[in-house]
Amino acid sequence: MPLRLTTWNINSVRLRLPLLLRLMQQEKPDVICLQEIKVEDGLFPREAIAAAGYEHQIVRGMKGYNGVAILSRIPLERGEDRSWCDRADSRHAIAMLPGNIELHNFYIPSGGDIPDPVQNAKFAHKLQFLDQVTDWLGAERKRSRPMILVGDLNIAPLECDVWSHKQLLDVVSHTPIEVEKLSRLQGTVEWVDAVRHFAPPPGKLYTWWSYRARDWLASDRGRRLDHVWVTPPLRKNLRSASVLRDARGWQRASDHVPVTIELDT
């Protein structure tokens, strides 16, 4: 059965609910994984989303910050809830998809502005988060298990994932230590980068453009912070991948854009 799955850091689901409904109607994903929903569970717009056809919903929210959600046209089973770094900050949701595929939706900490864990507690938290997830996946999961990992991982790992590798080497999201830790995480079960599977290096590819840019389109100073990975058993099932760049130009847009893959299940 074909499966169309989209991941998107929506940067407030209530503020951008009209854009989410537009995405649903325009792109018609079977499953949508959201990050940074910025709402506690009781205020999540479940009814409007269900009315659009996504009645299966797993929400891990919190007031004003963070939060992840998995929305689906097809039945979901909730997986184990996990928190990291001794914080209940709603950065990870797990679901079981048909075909016994385990889906992980992550919102990895951004890490603040200073790439030094001694000077910047936010950066230290990001590195600790990556280490803990890496250790857990390495100990608890096998490469033979069909899994999909998506989300705003807040790291652009490749030189062609940023507008200027040289200028961003000391900017949080592209520093060598972050890239190395993300590589370790990816190596735990030999995750396949599903988007780069279809758009291999050295082609430039971005999913995020800063609000600080006066004209994001003209400057095109982007980074690829949003990712979709699959385990080796699903590599052969991949059919396509796309980045909805136009969504950055929607009215009241998120600074991230949706990323979609299609695969057979």
Q: Per-block average pLDDT, block size 10, for the chain (265 residues)? A: 96 98 98 98 97 98 96 94 94 96 98 98 98 98 98 98 98 98 98 98 98 95 98 98 98 98 95
pLDDT attached to residue 180: 98
DSSP per-residue codes, 174-237: S-HHHHHHHHHHHHTTT-EEHHHHHS-TTS---SEE-TT-SSHHHH--EE--EEEEE-HHHHTT
Alpha helices in 54-175 (DSSP H): 121-140, 165-168
Contact 75, 239 (CB under 8 A): no
Query: Cα separation of 71 and 33, whole Å?
Result: 6
Query: Cα separation of 235 and 150, whole Å?
Result: 15
Fold of 2-264: Deoxyribonuclease I; Chain A (3.60.10)
Q: Helix, strand, or coil here: 111?
A: coil
Describe the crossing of helices 121-140 and 176-187 by its angle, rounded to 10 degrees: 20
pLDDT attached to residue 39: 98
Give the torsion sign (CA, 197, 60, 38, 173). Answer: negative
Cα 28 from chain centroid (whole Å): 18
Q: Token pair of 198, please?
A: 């279809």
Q: Which neighbouring-strand residues pair with 58?
A: 70
Query: Cα separation of 17 and 180, whole Å?
Result: 36
Return the biggest CA–CA distance within the chain: 50
Cα 47 from chain centroid (whole Å): 24
Query: Cα separation of 44 and 61, whole Å?
Result: 8
What residue ranges do the domains of the chain occupy? Answer: 2-264
Q: Token pair of 58, please?
A: 């797993």
Q: Token pair of 83, please?
A: 């928190």
